Amino acid sequence: MTDQVMDFVRAAVISGELETGKLYSVYQIADLLGISRSPVRDGLLRLEEAGLIEFARNRGFRIIPTSPYDVAEIFSLRLALEVPAASRAATSCTPELTEALVALEKKMRTAAEADAEDEFFAFDQELHDLILGAARSNRGRDIVNRLRVATRLLGVSTAGKQRTLADIIEEHSPIIEAVKAGQSAKAAAAMRDHLTRTGRLLVTQAIAAQGLDLNPDQLWTDLTQGY
């Protein structure tokens, strides 16, 4: 039930059912899920540890809004973890990994053709997770999955704005092909290009959405320098 609470809060924020900055009570969440307050508190405590919510003493909790600085930092961490992971996955690619990569790319293309954005990004996450797993970066997988949730709490997406779902697939294809071919340097470079493009777009969107007077290029450079 603790995991159920965490999944509910994440999904509700992404869908807009729960708003960032607004106070909610443990009782509200317990009533919505039809469960006792104890697992709700446990789930919220874990979300607090992940930096997604904060408690207001005797008043409830609120969702912490993710700032453009957070987005840039998140992608600097993803670059540090996923670029070398792509290289290692290519170095040790197996027939089973190749088969799984091909299957996921096919699913992403099918979802893109149907304009099924939620399904598409579920497969997108599965693909990144698969590559991290192939690189034996198990802690990295957990960290990246939490970072992706934090990014989605912004409520922004590059899909349908600066690029289509088909465009996003074309960023993933070089990663997949390089891993399958055992080309570690190309896999790393393709992953870096993909994450950099995504991160820069999301930083720009976050600045615009929050009406901040910031230079997105400078912010990105400051927080991702070295990656």
Q: Is the pLDDT of residue 110 over 70?
A: yes
Quote the pLDDT of residue 112.
Answer: 94
Residue type, 22: K
Quote the pLDDT of residue 130.
Answer: 97
**Under the phi-then-psi rule, with left for phi > 0, alpha for psi from -120 to 50, and beta for the rest, what region is 160?**
left
Angstrom distance (rounded) from CA 216 to CA 69: 10
Cβ–Cβ < 8 Å for 204, 216: yes
pLDDT band, residue 220 (cuts 50/70/90): very high
Quote the pLDDT of residue 19.
Answer: 83
Which H/E stretch holds residue 60? Answer: strand 60-63
Residue 172: half-sphere exposure toward Cβ, Cα within 13 Å: 24
Quote the pLDDT of residue 20.
Answer: 80
**Under the phi-then-psi rule, with left for phi > 0, alpha for psi from -120 to 50, and beta for the rest, what region is 61?**
beta
Task: From 46, 5, 57, select the one nearest 29 (Cα to Cα).
Answer: 5
Quote the pLDDT of residue 155.
Answer: 52
Query: If you average pLDDT over every residue of the chain, what do you get?
Result: 88
pTM of the model: 0.79
Buried b (16+ CB within 10 A) or exposed e, 13-48: bbeeebebeeebebeebbeebebeeebbbebbebbe
Cβ–Cβ < 8 Å for 70, 219: no
Of 21-35, 83-97, 193-207, where does the model show the most confidence?
83-97
Angstrom distance (rounded) from CA 150 to CA 116: 22
Give 68: exposed, middle or buried? Use CB within 10 Å, 0-12, 13-18, 19+. buried
pLDDT above 90 coverage of the chain, percent:
51
- Give the mean pLDDT of 42-57: 84
Query: How far is Cα of residue 69 from the mean position of the Cα atoms in its chain?
Result: 15
Q: Is the pLDDT of residue 203 over 80?
A: yes
Quote the pLDDT of residue 159.
Answer: 57
Angstrom distance (rounded) from CA 1 to CA 125: 23
Q: Is the pLDDT of residue 12 over 80?
A: yes
pLDDT band, residue 215 (cuts 50/70/90): very high
Give Cβ neighbours of residue 45 (< 8 Å, ≥ 6 apart): none
Quote the pLDDT of residue 2.
Answer: 81
Quote the pLDDT of residue 174.
Answer: 97
Quote the pLDDT of residue 157.
Answer: 58
Residue pLDDT, tens place only, 113-164: 999 988 998 899 999 999 999 999 999 998 898 788 777 665 555 555 578 9
